[in-house]
Amino acid sequence: MAQTDRLWSNTAIMKNLNLYLFDYPGVMPSAIQGVKDLFHIANLQAEDEIFIVSTVNTSNDLPDDVNGAMFIPPSLADKLPGFDDPEIIALFRKWHQSGTILVSACSSVFWLANAGLLDGKYATTHWRLCERLANDYPAIEKVCVDEMVVDQGDIVTAAGLYAFQDLALHIIARFAGFELAKKVADYCLLDLKGRLQAYYKRFLPDYSHGDAQVVSAQKFCLKNFFGDLPVSTIAASCHLSERSLLRRFKSATGYTPKQYIIQLRIEKAKQLMELENMSVEAAGCKVGYLDVSNFTKIFKKNSGITPAEFKLRGGN
């Protein structure tokens, strides 16, 4: 039994825990209802009212005092909504200071970051937002790119949109014990433990930065990353000097050309293992790594898991 499971199994079951759902403009509706459903199922499985769930929203007066936990669901907005409302941020700080547990998933983690409540802590968010969270809020101790749920006691954060399911199961286990959380997970056909965000991370080239020559270089890399690709060759393809390419490429993409090519190779290897059922060795060779041990080392460094782990869990 894992250490986390032992902690959960020894949890003294709490009753009548108040869980508030923050319903804000742009919130993901299914997350609101999904969390309600999961805690309702938990109460049914326990044959007791362990969790008292209610919804609060910005159209009404938000409570000054929250005795329990505040669940902040993710947003469905195309771009990050305004997670900087000073009145709401002030309430988050007040709730936190009074002992409220703040529970947040996906993009709504930025509420807590803007409130300064993640300073000095570990946190996670959706894999596409992790780099932004780390760069925009350097006071965060660590952004855990590979984790699905990060529990810091008074602050609990989770990864993607539907990680609210993992988050709800985690809260059930934390306050009502592992046994009840397992019952809920089994009833709902959900995976209680073992899921990592690392299995779902993908590399999606960004061509929206506005530097046409760098876009040209990116597309050249996409067509030619399988073999040896010197920086001089990439620079020549887009009519830039090596020095200019290195400077502008890093500024536009966040990667050096060499780092970018590694990302392309790892992403293609994932596709080969996942969609074509290719072996680890064959996939590594196909994308330019003849030494499987070197491929494994680079894959794990960039993905947080080994290619064998990815294939076992996310592939075929």
Q: Which run of H or of E encompasses 90?
A: helix 86-97
Cα-Cα end-to-end distance for the chain: 27
Reading the block at residue 117, the tokens are 């409540």
* Residue pLDDT, tens place only, 190-206: 988 767 898 888 999 99
| CA 252 to centroid of chain Cα atoms | 23
Distance, CA of 41 to CA of 72 (rounded, Å)? 20
**What pLDDT was estimated at residue 2?**
36
**Residue 81: pLDDT band with limits 50, 70, 90:** low
**What pLDDT was estimated at residue 12?**
52
**Residue 277: pLDDT band with limits 50, 70, 90:** very high
Q: Tell me the sheet residues that pair with 56.
A: 22
* Residue pLDDT, tens place only, 168-194: 999 999 999 999 999 999 999 998 876
**What pLDDT was estimated at residue 187?**
97
**What pLDDT was estimated at residue 83?**
82
Domains of the chain: 3-199 (3.40.50.880), 212-313 (1.10.10.60)
Higher pLDDT, 12 or 123: 123
Higher pLDDT, 16 or 14: 16
Query: pLDDT at residue 58 above 90?
Result: no
Query: pLDDT at residue 3 above 60?
Result: no
Strand stretches in the chain, DSSP E: 17-23, 51-57, 68-72, 101-105, 122-123, 142-143, 149-151, 155-158
Which three-class secondary structure state does DSSP give residue 70?
A: strand
**Residue 258: pLDDT band with limits 50, 70, 90:** very high
Query: pLDDT at residue 264 above 50?
Result: yes
Query: pLDDT at residue 1 above 50?
Result: no
Distance, CA of 259 to CA of 146 (rounded, Å)? 19
**Residue 14: pLDDT band with limits 50, 70, 90:** low
Query: pLDDT at residue 73 above 70?
Result: yes
Which three-class secondary structure state does DSSP give residue 86?
A: helix
Distance, CA of 124 to CA of 127 (rounded, Å)? 8
**Lowest-confidence range among 62-76, 106-120, 179-193, 255-269?**
62-76
Query: pLDDT at residue 6 above 50?
Result: no
